[in-house]
């Protein structure tokens, strides 16, 4: 079953990459550029057929695809008859659309998948009010693992599935608010109202004192109250309209997560071969495929497995789309950055009285930086790939 999940993920990623190239192909043709080749895969050609001015084909290694647009830079030698239709000869807005089309396709795939899951299957998420489980609590002055007994919550009769209604007279609508009230309460008796099977019950747990950060609940030295509970998981369904803002909320969190990964978690690269590897950090295609297999074989309802699998595919598409827009050559984002510089420089020249044509950037001067970027990206990718082979991230422990 795991192999089936991995195979399904690889197929989904392969289709996504081919659609990425189709985005470049369709927009290039729309703006009159010459796209001479559209191939699926890499390596030796297994089959090809020319239709019109484009050769379509399949290659032996199913690792993506490519589109050959004539004249991507002025350094490329092309048939003089094709020069008027060369990419670098096209208007700035046309080149921008063509270069952005690949990432745009990935974003569309992510949006469609996330929206479809929210409407058709719903999503499993941490509940804001439902009790997931109760546990003992290591009191202040003891080891974090040294605790015994039922804990304050279980001793008071709190059960899995109960929904917290109020704590000491304060209505509860979010888990963060609930845990903050518990910490601020400190040790001693408290009044907890819960909903169970449609009835309201008043419980009186005797909170204990622990040392934590009073604001976050994480590790710290503040003496605070503790109850010994954790939130449950529940499936939330969305209507066709309600799913729209939630979809873009998820997309926004993806952008935020990528930003945090490249700005705050870059140091985690030193831990990817250790036991403390960050589960939210860098991952290769191999690692993502492995996770896809684990999601497909998770001990959950079939709808949760399918939903989790599709969300993972959406997340990978979003990550690829964002990464591809980084302002680094040879990525599409690097070409977009060069185009932006070219147009900005032309605008400044026009302010100084220049009325001639736009002067293209000399790509020959950018080749060393391009080669250096390729070396860094390949090296970085190989490191992450190695970690995913010898020290993979696992979700089914």
Answer whether 205's CB lies under 8 Å from 137's CB: no
Q: How far is CA 295 from the centre of its chain?
A: 15
What tens digit of pLDDT does each residue of 277-329 get? 766 667 777 777 777 777 766 666 777 788 888 998 999 999 999 999 999 88
Q: How far apart are CA 308 and CA 124, in angstroms?
A: 9
Question: What is the gyration radius of the CA atoms in the chain, in angstroms?
Answer: 28
Q: How far apart are CA 12 and CA 206, in angstroms?
A: 52
Q: Sort strands 222-226 and 206-212 into parallel, antiparallel or unpaired.
A: antiparallel
Name residue, tokens 């860094």.
376
Answer whether 45's CB lies under 8 Å from 57's CB: yes
Amino acid 99: pLDDT:
95
Q: Which fold has domain 125-236?
A: Pdz3 Domain (2.30.42)
Per the annotation, the verdict on 53 as an active-site residue is no
Answer whether 209's CB lies under 8 Å from 186's CB: yes
Cis before 330? omega within 30: yes
Name the band, by pLDDT with cuts 50, 70 and 90, for residue 396.
low
Confidence check: pLDDT of 159 > 60: yes
Cα→Cα distances 31→105, 207, 255, Å = 18, 69, 30
What tens digit of pLDDT does each residue of 90-117 get? 999 999 999 999 999 999 999 999 999 9
Tell me the CB-side half-sphere exposure of residue 382, using CA atoms within 13 A. Answer: 6
Share of residues in the chain with pLDDT > 70 (%) = 92
**Residue 204 CB-density burial (10 A; 0-12 exposed, 13-18 middle, 19+ buried):** exposed
Q: How far apart are CA 249 and CA 111, in angstroms?
A: 11
What tens digit of pLDDT does each residue of 27-42 get? 999 999 999 999 988 8
Higher pLDDT, 23 or 122: 23
Cα→Cα distances 146→133, 182, 213, 276, Å = 18, 21, 19, 22
Residues of the chain with CATH 2.30.42.10: 125-236
Q: How far apart are CA 292 and CA 310, in angstroms?
A: 9
Structure tokens at 99: 């270069």
Coil vs helix vs strand at 159: coil
Answer whether 142's CB lies under 8 Å from 256's CB: no
């Amino acid at each position: 079953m795991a192999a089936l999940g991995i195979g399904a993920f690889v197929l989904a990623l392969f289709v996504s990459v081919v659609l990425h190239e189709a985005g470049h192909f369709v927009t290039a043709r729309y703006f009159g550029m010459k796209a001479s080749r559209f191939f699926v895969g890499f390596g030796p050609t297994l089959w090809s057929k020319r239709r019109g001015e484009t050769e379509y084909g399949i290659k032996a290694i199913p690792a993506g695809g490519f589109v050959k647009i004539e004249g991507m830079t002025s350094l490329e030698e092309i048939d003089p008859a094709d020069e008027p239709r060369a990419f670098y000869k096209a208007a700035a807005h046309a080149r921008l659309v063509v270069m952005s089309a690949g990432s745009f396709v990935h974003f569309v795939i992510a949006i469609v998948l996330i929206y479809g899951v929210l409407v058709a299957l719903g999503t499993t998420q941490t509940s804001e009010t439902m009790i997931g489980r109760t546990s003992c609590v290591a009191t202040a002055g003891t080891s974090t693992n040294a605790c015994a007994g039922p804990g304050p919550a279980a001793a008071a009769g709190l059960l899995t599935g109960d929904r917290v209604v109020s704590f000491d007279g304060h209505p509860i609508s979010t888990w963060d608010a609930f845990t903050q009230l518990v910490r601020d309460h400190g040790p001693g008796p408290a009044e907890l109202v819960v909903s169970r099977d449609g009835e309201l019950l008043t419980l009186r747990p005797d909170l204990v004192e622990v040392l934590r950060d009073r604001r976050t609940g994480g590790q710290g030295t503040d003496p605070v109250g503790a109850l010994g509970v954790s939130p449950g998981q529940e499936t939330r369904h969305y209507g066709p309209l309600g799913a729209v803002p939630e979809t873009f909320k998820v997309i926004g969190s993806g952008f935020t997560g990528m930003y945090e990964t490249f700005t705050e978690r870059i140091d985690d690269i030193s831990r990817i071969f250790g036991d403390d590897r960050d589960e939210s950090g860098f991952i290769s295609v191999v690692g993502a495929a492995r996770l896809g297999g684990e999601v497909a074989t998770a001990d959950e309802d079939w709808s949760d497995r399918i939903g989790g699998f599709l969300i993972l595919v959406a997340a990978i598409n979003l990550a690829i789309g964002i990464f591809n827009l980084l302002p680094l050559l040879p990525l599409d984002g690097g070409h977009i950055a060069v185009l932006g510089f070219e147009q900005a420089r032309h605008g400044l020249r026009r302010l100084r009285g220049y009325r001639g044509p736009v002067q293209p950037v000399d790509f020959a001067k950018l080749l060393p930086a391009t080669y250096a970027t390729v070396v860094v990206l390949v090296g970085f990718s190989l490191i992450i790939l190695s970690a995913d082979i010898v020290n993979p991230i696992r979700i089914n422990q």
